[in-house]
Amino acid sequence: MPSFDITSKVDLQTLDNAVNTVKKEITNRFDFKGSHVVIELQKKDFKVLLEADSDMKMEQIVDVLISRSMRQGLDGNCFDLSKDVYPSGKIVKKEVPVKNGLAQDDSKKIVKLIKDSGLKVQAAIMDDIIRITGKKIDDLQDVIQLCKTNDLKIPLQYVNMKG
């Protein structure tokens, strides 16, 4: 039976390259000359730590981070921007967790979406991967299309397609 996996992984090297590109761009920008800026990737925690002089500069750093990451091939949705900026003395800080792996509730939401669609496939949650199996490859491609057209706010990859 044809099958494939839905996963949500972020390549650490690509993320590192994107963060380094952001660092270079921000340090070379005229409006950031002489400003306090820290952009740091914590690789083991999958977090990007940001520091800046003001909220406005923080927003600009986040915009550059998302646009450069997308140019590197990362999905902009992989950054969890829900946490607010917090002040620390004269500077503001922001912690941006990077979503790596499917959370249990995200997996359940995707499986429910697939089941509600009426497509003739089976969806099974296996840790942070969803395995989709069906009788026809066309059904599997319909599942991929369904996931892409619904704005799930999660970066998804479709891997291990077996016909």
The CATH number covering residue 89 comes to 3.30.70.990
Q: Based on the structure, what is the number of domains in the chain?
A: 2
Looking at 82, 97, 112, the residue that finishes a domain is 97
Whole-model pTM above 0.95? no
Tell me what pLDDT residue 95 has. Answer: 94
Tens of pLDDT, residue by residue over 8-34, are 999 999 999 999 999 999 999 999 888
Which residue segment(s) compose the domain that 44 sits in? 12-97
Residue 132 has pLDDT above 90, yes or no: yes
* Torsion of Cα atoms, 69 then 75 then 76 then 82, to 10°: -120
Tell me what pLDDT residue 89 has. Answer: 87
Task: Round to whole Å and give the CA distance between 96 and 84.
Answer: 9
Residues 116, 87 within the same domain: no
Identify the residue with better confidence: 76 or 47.
47
Residues 81, 58 within the same domain: yes
Looking at 49, 72, 97, the residue that finishes a domain is 97
Looking at 97, 129, 154, the residue that finishes a domain is 97
Residue 88 has pLDDT above 90, yes or no: no
Tens of pLDDT, residue by residue over 52-86, are 999 999 999 999 999 999 999 998 889 999 889 99
Residues 19, 74 within the same domain: yes
